[in-house]
Amino acid sequence: MRARILELLRRHSGNYVSGEEISQGLGVSRTAVWKHMRELKHSGYIIEAHPRRGYTLIQAPDALLPDEIRTRLNSSILGREIRYFDSLESTNNEAKKFAAEGCPEGLLVVTECQNSGRGRLSRGWFSPAGKGIWMSVVLRPPFSPQEAPKCTLMAAVAVNNAIREIAQINSGIKWPNDILYNGRKLVGILTEMSAEMDAINYVVIGIGINVNIDVSEFPEELSAIATSVSAEVGSKIDRVGLLSAILKHLEKSYTEAIQNGFGRLLDEWRAQSITLGQEVDVIGSNRKFSGTAVNIDDDGALLVKKGDTLERVLAGDVSIRPSAK
């Protein structure tokens, strides 16, 4: 109901809506309207109440509140349930708990701040309060576990499309699923799954986006390799708008993958890649070599040309050679 009240206030943005109108329009009592307004103010909304004219929304809080997300949701599966936290150890860990307990597909876990944000292979992820989007989505795809790596590429395409749409910058994807702009990282994606050998129980897609982080705020070891959307655009970014764009694009890609397979998505990945065509260094668990990244195959593996042979890379670190940047 609060989401619907907010929607109404937004529709009349700049004007007042009377309590009577809200009450009749949404079928709730005047007292209920008054109580919802009190709670919205408590959550950080600035709402002006005028005795005769009614209510007007002056400013929404800069927070990824469920009510805020719901009023701007353009997806029907992703985000239909939202779990919001002021702070969390890690959104992926929390989402995995909900998933193991049987939560519905599309559950979104979002937090203002991660205390132990995780990147790939147990690395850390800098996740300061109120400055990023730290989120995880639970999927229950009908794919086999062997197809799960393609979920990662699918997520990268969706998030990159959302950033390009909202921030209007030409960001690109570094294999498998980092999003970079001008050679610096904007987004990290950590996909985890629980599976039987021939069926996926659930996939959790964790997305960390440096949205409104000032470059001076990054820890020293990150300052040369990380950046934020706002730093590149030069102005503050609407986090809720970006989050709902991500859910929209991710749902579109996911539905496409279920209905038609990953073919078109892998093509989109190729078109948005900044890795293909570059000289790369590959560091795997038991090999280390350099070569030219030439393509990804149907399984999402990176194909690296090393002399006359084509090496298939499904795991490990791939860095683009500085000289080639």
Whether the bond between 176 and the residue before it is cis, its omega within 30 degrees of 0, is: yes
- The answer to whether residues 89 and 124 touch, using CB atoms and an 8 Å cutoff, is no
The conformational region for residue 98 under phi > 0 = left, psi -120 to 50 = alpha, else beta, is alpha
Q: What is the DSSP pairing of strand 108-111 with strand 82-85? A: parallel
- 136 belongs to the binding site for a copy of itself (CB under 8 A): no
Is residue 66 within 8 A of residue 80, CB to CB? The reply is no
Closest CA to 118 of 110, 126, 107, 129: 126
The residue (of 56 and 93) whose beta carbon lies closer to a copy of itself is 93
- In the bound state with a copy of itself, the residue whose beta carbon lies nearer, of 59 and 194, is 194
- Cβ nearer to a copy of itself, comparing 114 with 152: 152
172 binds a copy of itself (CB under 8 A): no
Minimal distance, residue 126 CB to a copy of itself, in Å: 19
Q: Write down the least CB distance from residue 146 to a copy of itself, Å.
A: 6
Under the binding rule (CB under 8 A), the answer on residue 195 touching a copy of itself is yes
Told to check if 194 binds a copy of itself by CB under 8 A, we report: yes
Pick the piece of the chain touching a copy of itself (CB under 8 A) from 75-83, 145-153, 219-227, 303-311.
145-153
Decide: is 25 part of the binding site for a copy of itself (CB under 8 A). no
Residue choice 107, 108, 166, 190 for contact with a copy of itself (CB under 8 A): 190
Task: List, in order, residues 6 or more apart from 214 with CB less than 8 Å away.
Answer: 228, 230, 231
Q: CB within 8 A of 160, min separation 6: which ones?
A: 171, 172, 173, 179, 187, 272
Binding-site size, a copy of itself (CB under 8 A): 28
* 198 near a copy of itself, rule: CB under 8 A: yes
Shortest spacing between CB 314 and a copy of itself, in angstroms:
7
Least distance to a copy of itself, CB of residue 128, Å:
24
CA pair distance 291, 304, nearest whole angstrom: 6
Among 19, 66, 176, 291, binds a copy of itself (CB under 8 A): 176
Which residue from 66, 211, 62, 59 is spatially nearest to 131, judged by alpha carbons? 211
The reply to whether 309 sits near a copy of itself by the rule CB under 8 A is: no
Closest separation in Å from C-beta 148 to a copy of itself: 6
CB atoms within 10 A of CB 115: 11
Site residues (CB under 8 A) for a copy of itself, limited to 272-301: 285
146 counts as binding a copy of itself under rule CB under 8 A? yes
Contacts of 72 by beta carbon, 8 Å cutoff, 6+ apart? 240, 241, 244
- Residues whose CB falls within 8 Å of the CB of residue 300, separated by 6 or more in sequence, listed in order: 149, 150, 152, 153, 176, 262, 266, 314
- Does residue number 120 form part of the binding site for a copy of itself (CB under 8 A)? yes
Residues that bind a copy of itself (CB under 8 A): 96, 100, 120-121, 142, 144-146, 148-149, 151-152, 176, 190-199, 201, 285, 314-316
